[in-house]
Structure 1
């Protein structure tokens, strides 16, 4: 019976392919690296909660930019249609009926025949187990997401349980835990036989184990085994249940042995078998994830007993492109564990250099690796390509930099790495690593965050820092800068904050004698960034919102005065199109953008230019000068997601060396006053830009300085 059923299903699949007039082998060639990859990125946008209207606009614009002039392959058309139909539903929820109708109209043109036909097509793409493993992970992910959406609106002829069973199987066997979780919930509602209900239990056990709830997962697995024994061949899910039941018994594959070893707490076995799994897989995110699991087992098992062992661990991670695994698992968690292991070793008497290397490598993962990489001229020709280019840069694994390399490339700089760890209140630790120019060995200090320290830290975060008591600022300043050389008058400081401490009033926290303070995603990023050249008479171009922003008027007047005195050549533009034409016509040294900014990051961030809202991607397509001043709220905020960058960091990725940006919602008049003074010191008196910003900040009345600390200097000082 089983053989007959398999042959029959194979005939059905063949008939579907013939009916759809598609050669799947040809259709899927190279699609993972281009079309489907972009579609998967758009699905990630759709997943964000809350769903922002600007994100939905981005999806429609991207489809138009990429596919309006092309003839997409059949698979691509079906995936786009499903994506647009789902987007239309979100537009409808936001009350934007016209946009919803536009999405559904385009979807119908791309994939005529409705959801049932799309389901048949997509199922045929993943029906063959052999073919499933040949497809790229992004292709499979996009197909599963589309199927989950289409099943929800399919007709009565479609057996939902069968389709969802196939989706769950594909998600499980390709290691796609997120899609499996969604499929299990949908299958639970659609299960119409004991077999499908047993499958729900089985796949739920896999979701629990993947989430670290091992005991609950094993209990669910035992429940499934009992139920599976009663499923007969007449049950439509019999074959899937039998396959799942076979998978609960021990296997000989390296991945299965690694999982078993991990469940037993055998860290030595888990690290070895996960490492072998990585060797058996082709290069890509899944191989990177297996390598990460192998090294995580070493961390958990205390199998990295020395600084050299940690360096060997880093070498293995870099060789397998660790950062590519960000789409599969929590990379930052492992890197934080490695950093804490390095601190443990240092406190036990081992060297401190490895602590600095790991702290900077963690900064590289958070976005530093995207900075200082050359890109082709067309990398940002549309918002969609700009977004994808940034994702590419973030996924590149970079080599760790050593303290010796940093002190050689940044002479005279104090470099500080600041990290806050701990998930629960009362368990937080502050780790500060300080590299002083007077001493080649980093100073490592790990401090338990007391209740008083925690309160002061919270008061000094973000916009709330403008109202922080002076004592709180002094307390945090002492915690952060205690190891700065006390004899270093006029110290230059580069800070690499973690995501928790990124948005802090750094110019207020810096020691009084500091000549300047720069924040950077990593020291490695600063080293890769070319210094901004000194120019006798700089060319400055700016775009301003003088209608609503008094500070913008102050900034524009200051630059006009400097131009009248012959210190600069100044060009004003009033629209994005004018800015584009001016930058195309002549080179400039400084670009200043003084307009409103929104709170989001990535392409969802909007600069409200005089001629309308624009994403940072519009700036990235302009050929940026070395210095960019973004007098815009939130332009330099810490990113909310690991797969994107904020506006200021995007400018650094696109070629700028120095960026001034807003860490939070800044007072526009105060920001204009600060920047006007900064321009005077930098462009008239010749003070380097980071020092000019620091001096202008300190020159403000003490009661105004906290409100101006939201403007920060980012990049290479």
Structure 2
């Protein structure tokens, strides 16, 4: 950091400690670091447009649930106050004045001194003495979000331009491009000297660079350099401008060399310099991002000429924990992994072996959520929505080693494993890549097919709830694309199929699409996730516990009656509970083999998802903190949906991450009565006749009249088959 930066921060820190008598370093230690990280997760709810009242309700409920357990430290209190004040403003826009008033009342109780004092706390939190690069990107983001809001309502004593210049610096230096965009807009409105106006141009050039708009970025840099030359020492932003100007001059840092090489189209140089930048940084999101850029340069430059080179690339990405970069640039991680997969397919089509194609296909599945599965935490990690959310974020940010086809064949010898990926950004330029590993065939089959207009229409008809009305021809067409005769013999009986779909194809009627001879069909985020899950033990008389909405849902009544009958016949020991508290007490008192939850579910995402239990709505965290049995059946709408964000999980995946091995969940808004009928038959086959659960679900689906099956296909078996 430059001299100007150090002097300014020293002044602020001294002022804060003198007037406020706090040690902000301790505010970010221990559990409070988790609290601050969780706050920025709530800020992400506010980022969504349009903002829905359910999301704002989730913020208030989470704050009440998580932060009322103990008195938060000063910095945490002020972050919460700012978050709630902003939430109150959005409630006001939605014409919910009572909720708005409640938010502002709580905010005033948390930070009664007002925005000016809060700004001092927040500026000190990102000072050099706080070691900005070690705080974590989510923590820094929370502070920047609060600063941007507080500056907007601060008094006349606060120099807005000076504060916003610090915010833009912090956003830029931590690679937080989205926050930098917002900060640049705010700084432009507040800039009151030529120096601050010049800084707006400089930081806008950084945003243009992140967007890949190289020519515009260079023009902005030239404009900034001309403006900077005229900024004299009397301008309050003089030293900030001088420091920024030095960063656009040629110098010897590895990151600067990498940027210059990328601009020249020198992919060899860019990959080398970005790699050196990664090695110079401590392990964490920034290092992972530099490694990401290094390997992206290799892909762009055609520097991965063989499967061996691809595996070396994967090794480097794993060594620097590439999934940690998702907190900075989620899209770029998926783009790189997709590009690597397509490069592997290119090499296969040129005559190379197909094993690395399957490895990369599964590694993509790990990134999309598979890496969260198979590492269950103690239930205390899920005792509130906020802690559960952060636990799963940490799981998603862990990188795992790619699983090999040899490992898959050894551990899943009877399965057809099918990876499905749709790629392409433009209409008419989409491709479907299907990779299939067959039993007793060590070499994967790889098919990359151009998605025709007819294929695209059929795909759209077979997605989500629309699939219930899909023409039979569309279903046959997509089934043929996914499970070609050459991959899965349609005449074979007893075939076991494990599908690893991408995000675009996750919510599809898999039991309708499966070949006729399929004995069971399992959906998994990745094969690696399925292999890490613990096997489900065989039990002579399973213990089953369930919670049902028997008031509104006929399907719940059908399930409960089926389980009660199996209990009376001695096939199971069944416990029915009627509230979350009863469920908690029962699970603490004795071990169970199956938990079934049959209630309404909401369409929300992540921990905003609500299961409408008989005693009130609850998020998935209510289940996760109980200690789950190996099998969980969620007869709830949207409980197994594909999430809208790459940094969160659906309820079904959350259960797998918390220790369950098999989950039945709803991919969309399932038909209640039909789902109850399907699950009642599944329980009879599994618990009375001893049919393994995935096969029992498949048999129950096929036993339905053909005209009813599409409406029942929203229930899917997920996890370890």
Calculate the TM-score normalised by the size of structure 1.
0.96
Matched, 1:511 2:487: no
Whether contact under 8 Å (1:507, 1:694) holds in the other structure is yes
Q: 1:411 to 1:9 in 2, by over 3 A?
A: closer
Partner of 2:141: 141
The Cα of 1:185 is off from its aligned counterpart by 0.5
Q: For the residues of structure 1 that align with 2:533 and 2:359, how far apart are their CA atoms?
A: 18
Offset, 1:50: 3.2
For residues 483-526 of structure 1, give each alpha carbon's deviation from its aligned partner in whole angstroms, at most 9, with x where no partner exists.
11456321000000000000001011000011011100000111
2:367 aligned with 1:377: no
| Native 8 Å contact 2:599 2:635 kept in 1 | yes
Alpha-carbon offset, residue 134 of structure 1: 5.6
Once the two structures are superposed, what CA deviation does each residue of 1:107-153 show, in whole Å capped at 9, x if it has no partner? Answer: 22322321011113322344548954565444432222111010111
User: Using the alignment, how far apart are the partners of 1:5 and 1:691 within structure 2?
Assistant: 64
CA deviation map 1:441-480 (0-9, x unaligned): 1001100001111111111111111111111111111110
Q: 1:147-196, CA deviations, whole angstroms, 9 ceiling, x for partnerless residues?
A: 10101111122221121122112222232212111111111111122222
Show the counterpart of 1:276.
276
Partners of 1:4 and 1:237 in 2: CA distance: 10
Aligned-partner Cα distance in 1 for 2:454–2:112: 64
1:715 match: 719
- 1:549 offset after TM fit, Å? 1.2
Specify whether residues 13 and 647 from structure 1 end up closer, same or farther in structure 2 by C-alpha distance, changes over 3 A only. closer
Deviations 1:341-361 (Å, cap 9, x if unpaired)? 111111111110000000000
Corresponding residue for residue 254 of structure 2 = 254
Query: How many Å separate the matches in 2 of 1:514 and 1:570?
Result: 31
**Distance in 1 separating the partners of 2:392 and 2:5:** 48
Shift of 1:18: 1.1
Q: Alignment partner for residue 561 of structure 2, among 550, 557, 563?
A: 557
- Per the TM alignment, residue 404 of structure 1 is displaced from its structure 2 partner at its CA by 0.8
Aligned to 2:448: 446
- Tell me, in whole angstroms, the C-alpha distance in 1 between the residues paired with 2:29 and 2:69: 20
Q: Is the 8 A contact 2:32 2:76 kept in 1?
A: no
* 8 Å contact from structure 1 (residues 518, 715) kept in 2: yes
The residue that corresponds to 1:413 in the other structure is: 415
Of the three residues 531, 538, 545, the one matched with 2:542 is 538
Contact 2:422 2:502 in 1 (8 A): yes
- RMSD of aligned residue pairs (Cα, Å): 2.1
Say whether 1:106 aligns with 2:140.
Answer: no
- Which residue, 652, 677, 682 being the options, matches 1:678? 682
Other-structure match for 2:693: 689
Paired with 2:3 and 2:551, the residues of 1 have a C-alpha distance of 76
By how many angstroms is 1:418 displaced?
A: 0.2
> 2:666 & 2:8 partners in 1: Cα distance?
63
Q: Which residue of 1 aligns with 2:502?
A: 498
> In structure 1, what is the equivalent of residue 710 of structure 2?
706
Q: Supply the distance in 2 between the matched residues of 1:528 and 1:415 (Cα, whole angstroms).
A: 16
Q: What does residue 343 of structure 1 align with?
A: 345
Partner residue in 1 for 2:63: 63
Q: 1:25 to 1:455 in 2, by over 3 A?
A: closer
Structure 1 pair 437/138, CA: closer, same or farther in 2 (3 Å)?
Answer: same
Look up the match of 1:18. Answer: 18
1:604-615, aligned counterparts within 5 Å? 604-615=608-619
Task: Please give the per-residue CA displacement for 1:552-574, whole angstroms capped at 9, x wherever unaligned.
Answer: 11222222222222222211111
SS of 1:500's equivalent? helix
- Alpha-carbon distance change, 3 to 304 in structure 1, aligned in 2, over 3 angstroms: closer
Give the 5 Å matches for 1:106-255. Answer: 106-128=106-128, 131-133=131-133, 135-255=135-255
In the superposition, relative to structure 1, how do residues 599 and 13 fare at CA in structure 2: closer, same or farther (>3 Å)?
closer
How far has the Cα of 1:92 moved from its partner? 2.6
Aligned to 2:95: 95
Range moving further from structure 2, 30-39 or 521-530: 30-39
Question: What residue is the counterpart of 1:285 in the other structure?
Answer: 285
3-state SS, counterpart of residue 50 of structure 2? coil
Deviations 1:604-655 (A, max 9, x none): 1111111111111111122211111111111111111111111111111111
CA contact (8 A) 1:32 1:139 kept: no
Task: Give the C-alpha shift of residue 302 in structure 1.
Answer: 0.7
2:439 alignment counterpart: 437
Across the two proteins, how many residue pairs are aligned to each other? 716
Distance 1:527 1:8 in 2: 53
1:596 to 595, 600, 603: 600
SS at match of 2:545: strand
Report deviation, 1:217: 1.2
- Alpha carbons of structure 1 residues 29 and 713: separation in structure 2 relative to 1, 3 Å: closer
Which deviates more, 561-570 or 181-190? 561-570
Deviation at 1:584, TM superposition (A): 1.4
SS in 2 for 1:531: coil
**In the alignment, which residue of structure 1 is the partner of 2:357?**
355
Q: Deviations over 1:528-581 (max 9, x none)?
A: 112222222211111111221111112222222222222222111111111111
Structure 1 residues 404 and 5 mapped into 2: Cα distance closer, same or farther (>3 Å)?
Answer: closer
CA distance in 2, matches of 1:561, 1:3: 77
Task: Please say if residues 355 and 404 of structure 2, whose CA atoms lie closer than 8 Å, have aligned partners that are also in contact.
Answer: yes
* Helix, strand or coil at the partner of 1:635: coil
- Find the partner of 1:632 among 612, 630, 636: 636
Contact 1:17 1:124 in 2 (8 A): no
| 1:88/1:101 contact within 8 Å kept | yes
Moved more, 601-610 or 412-421: 601-610
CA distance in 2, matches of 1:687, 1:11: 71
- DSSP 3-state at the match of 1:34: helix
Q: Distance between the aligned counterparts of 1:693 and 1:450, measured in 2? A: 33
Q: Please state whether the residue corresponding to 1:515 is helix, strand or coil.
A: strand
The CA distance in 2 between the partners of 1:4 and 1:68, in whole Å, is: 40
> Shift of residue 306 of structure 1?
0.7
Q: What TM-score does the superposition give when structure 2 sets the normalisation length? A: 0.95
CA separation in 2, counterparts of 1:668 and 1:12? 60
Question: Structure 1 604/12 Cα, relative in aligned 2: closer, same or farther at 3 Å?
Answer: closer
- 1:86 corresponding residue in structure 2: 86
User: Which range is displaced more, 257-266 or 93-102?
Assistant: 93-102
Deviation at 1:703, TM superposition (A): 0.9
Distance of aligned partners of 1:381 and 1:28 in 2 relative to their CA distance in 1, 3 Å threshold: closer
Q: 1:649–1:8: structure 2 CA closer, same or farther, 3 Å change rule?
A: closer
Instruction: Tell me the CA shift for residue 582 of structure 1.
Output: 1.3
Using the alignment, how far apart are the partners of 1:188 and 1:514 within structure 2? 61
Deviates more, 1:492-501 or 1:194-203: 194-203
Q: Could you tell which deviates more after superposition, 174-183 or 66-75? A: 66-75
